[in-house]
Amino acid sequence: MEIRVEAGDVTQVAAGAVVVNLFEGSSHPEGATAAVDRALDGAISRLMADDEIKGKLYEATLIHTLGKMPAARVLVMGLGKREELTQERVRGVMGEACRAMRKAGVARAATIAHGAGIGGMESQAAAQAVAEGAILGLYTFRRYLTRPYELKDMEEILVVERENNKLPALERGVEMGRIMSHATYLARDMVNEPANHMTPTHMAEAARKVAEEHGLSLTILEREQMQELGMGALLGVAQGSQQPPKLIVLEYKGGGNRTPLGLLGKGLTFDSGGISIKPSEGMQEMKEDMAGGAAVIAALGAIAQLHPPVNVTGIIPATENLPSGTAYKPGDVLKTMGGKTIEVISTDAEGRLILADALCYARRRGLSPLVDAATLTGACIVALGDICSGAFSNNQEFLSQVLKAAETAGERAWPMPMFPDYKEQNKSDVADIKNTGGRNAGAITAAQFLAEFAETTPWVHLDIAGTVRADKDKGYQVKGATGVPARTFVQLALALA
């Protein structure tokens, strides 16, 4: 689908539908909505008077113009309360609007820049939110469906603006939204892939495609190289699978001699739990355990397109965690690249093991600061549900930067405590540390485990176990993989630049 900015009057655009909006509690239409209302001889005002249009968030009212406008339909979308308007709400409204139009068979639509004008939002920010909401809200994953798709894909959306001086800002916003959305598309596609089509080798090939398309440097470390580096934790997890592990390293170099930002992503392309095997119910979702790695690959591609003056290195340890005669076992002791030893209590606490070696590798390469994303713990889902990711850090200033990037991107994260007392639960009698601290505070003790390998480097860990997937269509999220936190990573790189 193409999104374009066009100068003109939204009441005069020939399209399948025109999208306007209304704030909750409004007594009358305003701005472009008022112009459309006049063109429709007061139809919107009458529906408001009859309480059929209230402006509640995501409320959608489709009105047939019956020849009173060149557009065949008008879609009035509720923005919710005026004082609660954000880019995230505009994204959601546009996602809902586009799915409603696709269901109605609309191929070409026009919209105003929701949030700009009377909403008070900057034109570029509003246009970016409109583009992201439209593109992401229409996402589908149909690669393995052989039956025809029952809905017609939308082909074009015009963002219409009367004031010519606002067009450049709107165009910049639409382009930023396109890049951000396509990065999220890639992350969603990779996570939605079945595990037999997204092995560590497939993941490395996806990174290679991104590197070639956007001019990134790519290094893929094979098992033998990991052995030479002493990555015993990553190799320990990998030894139960016949699929060879990969350590994927993508580099964007736009900042001269600046120290590179390190983005790390867990790349468990399938997690059965290993010898500590998971229950069979819901295990099919464990193909999603590489979502952090997918987000890193997608983010590097977007960063390369935006050309910020910063250096960014992405590191993805990729493997499967399967039970077999060669699998690592509870009670084993693994030695990491940094020399620390780990007692394995549960082979289902494998994500922190592969990230331990990835963090050691990142520090050896001099990357700083570091941020990792991982579907790490069910405990984080218990704590925060699917509303926001958990954020853990050893550096308050950097944590604030990451949280701000997440808020701007619309991928919410919430800071979690990292009191030193929690380290007690990770103490081992036979090794330097054990790989699980028990049931209580499980997300925190997992983060404290990772902190041992970040050491003094400024570092943030994002536990995305709860936010990796959506169970239903809502706003610009669709059922399945969300693509979190690809846009946060891009936004962070832009902010640091």
Active-site annotation, residues? 278, 352
Fill in the DSSP letter of residue 347.
T
What DSSP line would sit under 143-211, residue for residue? TT--SPPSSPPP-EEEEEES-GGGHHHHHHHHHHHHHHHHHHHHHHHHHHS-TTTS-HHHHHHHHHHHH
Work out the burial of residue 454: count CB atoms within 10 Å of its CB; fewer than 13 is exposed, 13-18 middle, 19 or more buried.
Answer: buried
Q: How far apart (Å, rounded) are the C-alpha atoms in residues 190 and 198?
A: 7
CB 62 within 8 Å of CB 104: yes
- The H or E element spanning position 450 is helix 442-454
Q: How many residues make up the chain in this entry? A: 497
Q: How far apart (Å, rounded) are the C-alpha atoms in residues 417 and 447?
A: 10
Strand-strand pairing, 459-463 and 17-22: unpaired
Fill in the DSSP letter of residue 367.
-
* Other residues' Cβ atoms within 10 Å of the Cβ of residue 278: 16
Q: How far apart (Å, rounded) are the C-alpha atoms in residues 408 and 487?
A: 9
Q: Is 486 helix (H, G, I), strand (E, B) or coil?
A: helix
CB 249 within 8 Å of CB 218: yes
CB 442 within 8 Å of CB 463: no
Within 323-482, strands assigned E span: 333-335, 341-343, 370-374, 389-393, 413-415, 433-434, 459-463, 469-470, 480-481
* CB half-sphere exposure, 224, CA atoms < 13 A: 0
- The H or E element spanning position 362 is helix 351-364
